[in-house]
Amino acid sequence: MAIRNQTLGEFIIENQSEFKYSSGELSRLINSIRLAAKVVNHEVNKAGLVDILGAAGDMNVQGEDQQKLDVFANEAFIKTLTNREIVCGIASEEEDDFIAIKDGNPNNQHKYVVLIDPLDGSSNIDVNVSVGTIFSIYRRVTPVGTPVTQEDFLQAGNKQVAAGYIIYGTSTMIVYSTGHGVNGFTLNPAIGTYYLSHPNMQFPKEGNIYSVNEGNYVHFPQGVKDYIKYCQMEEGDRPYTSRYIGSLVSDFHRNMIKGGIYMYPSTAKNPDGKLRLLYECNPMAFLAEQAGGKASDGFRRILDIEPTELHQRVPFFCGSTSMVEKAEYCMKKAADPQ
Ligand code: AHM
Ligand code: MG
């Protein structure tokens, strides 16, 4: 039974025994993420006040402009996790390759790797719109005490031990799951404490919001076009409402609370879509399923995809189960009209 006004710290301690391999390590890891999130939140909040906006002049591995706050958030998470000697490896959207921590040191007994998108939706920063951090945690597959390898990071999403996001919105929240449902904690900035504000979050089975960049409409596969037309059709509870922030965490968060579907399909130019499987889609898919929702690439369960590359992309359909199933139905029908 949850106590009133429970803090994230108290929640982590109380639920530690639920973890499959309870040694306190995962709890300490989530605690470190909580700490880094406060540091990043502080910086994001003052973005409009200080001269920190604008491109840092670097390009990240995907050839996109890197914003200064992306760099800051990347360093904050990496430093916090590295200094606390809590993980054996980190992969980040902002790093070409994974980072091995205390590579090969037999004293490094840590068993977890973290994959992270330190500041997702960063094109929204300049216009004071919500951004987020996404994280995914796995147990390494190679033996403890040996150097981490790519194999430790290239695991299917169904092997995730925990995943979550931080939303830097009108309030700052941490939403995460260790495989026992999804819980959301809101930061009280006055005292720097997160409180359990959204226990046991659930995607409504049905929803009436669809979130997609319709500017790409003409380039979408026929199945996606058909589904969008279905959403717009006047029948029963339709037409649905269109809401698209262009910040995955924010769009997902709203849809989980209100009921909806988020889509980033393939386009003629980008057959694998835009979003990254390992540190964007997998953690969100894990959360979606934990909250009773569904995540698909249009045909397959996201969490069952065996990754082959650290930065690989995948088409993404995620949200209320009935809506994702209907989108999959349209995809299948268009691909195979028989
Ligand atoms: P980023 O990792 O470069 O920030 O891109 C990911 C973001 C998502 O948060 C968002 O849903 C999507 O890109 C928006 O893309 P678009 O502007 O093409 O609609
Ligand atoms: Mg991103």
Per-residue pLDDT of the chain (338 residues; tens, 9 = 90+): 556 789 999 998 888 877 655 678 888 999 999 999 999 999 898 876 655 455 555 666 776 665 588 999 999 999 999 988 789 999 999 999 999 987 556 556 789 999 999 999 988 888 889 999 999 999 999 998 888 999 999 999 999 999 999 999 999 999 999 999 999 999 999 999 999 999 999 999 999 999 999 999 999 999 999 999 999 999 999 999 999 999 999 999 999 999 999 999 999 899 999 999 999 999 999 999 999 999 999 999 999 999 999 999 999 999 999 999 999 999 999 998 77
- What atom in ligand 1 is closest to the CA of residue 251? 11
Q: Which atom of ligand 1 lies at the shortest distance from residue 245's CA?
A: 11
What pLDDT is stored for residue 171 in this prediction? 95
| Ligand 2 centroid, distance to 249 Cα (angstroms) | 9
What is the per-residue pLDDT for 260? 98
The closest alpha carbon to 311, from 150, 140, 161, belongs to: 150
Residue with CA closest to ligand 1 atom 16:
246
Quick check: 198 and 184 in contact, CB under 8 A?
Answer: yes
Architecture of the 8-198 domain: 2-Layer Sandwich (3.30)
Q: Tell me the C-alpha to C-alpha distance, in Å, between residue 115 and each of 34, 139, 311.
A: 15, 11, 11
Beta strand extents in the chain (DSSP E only)? 55-59, 65-67, 89-92, 99-100, 112-120, 131-139, 162-168, 172-177, 183-188, 193-198, 209-211, 241-242, 260-264, 294-296, 316-319
d(CA 280, CA 262): 13
Strand order in the sheet with 294-296: 241-242, 209-211, 260-264, 316-319, 294-296
In this prediction, residue 204 carries a pLDDT of: 97
Distance 248 CA to ligand 2 centre (A): 8
Residue position matching structure tokens 């929702």:
293
For 309, phi then psi, to 5°, come to -140, 150
Whole-model pTM?
A: 0.93
pLDDT at 46: 81
Is the beta carbon of 121 within 6 A of some atom in ligand 1? yes
Domain limits, the chain? 8-198, 209-335
**How far is CA 153 from each of CA 90, 98, 101, 292, rounded to the nearest angstrom?**
9, 8, 13, 26
Using CB atoms within 10 Å of the CB of residue 242, give its burial: 0 to 12 exposed, 13 to 18 middle, 19+ buried: middle
- Between the CA of residue 253 and those of 21, 42, 116, what are the distances in Å? 29, 21, 18
Which of 125, 274, 314, 318 for mutating ligand 1's site (highest number of atoms within 8 Å of CB)?
A: 274
In this prediction, residue 319 carries a pLDDT of 98
Domain range 209-335, CATH architecture: 3-Layer(aba) Sandwich (3.40)
Q: Which of 107, 106, 115, 108 is nearest to 86 (CA)?
A: 108
CA distances (Å), origin 6, targets 1, 112, 194, 199: 11, 27, 9, 10
According to DSSP, the β-strands at 260-264 and 89-92 are: unpaired
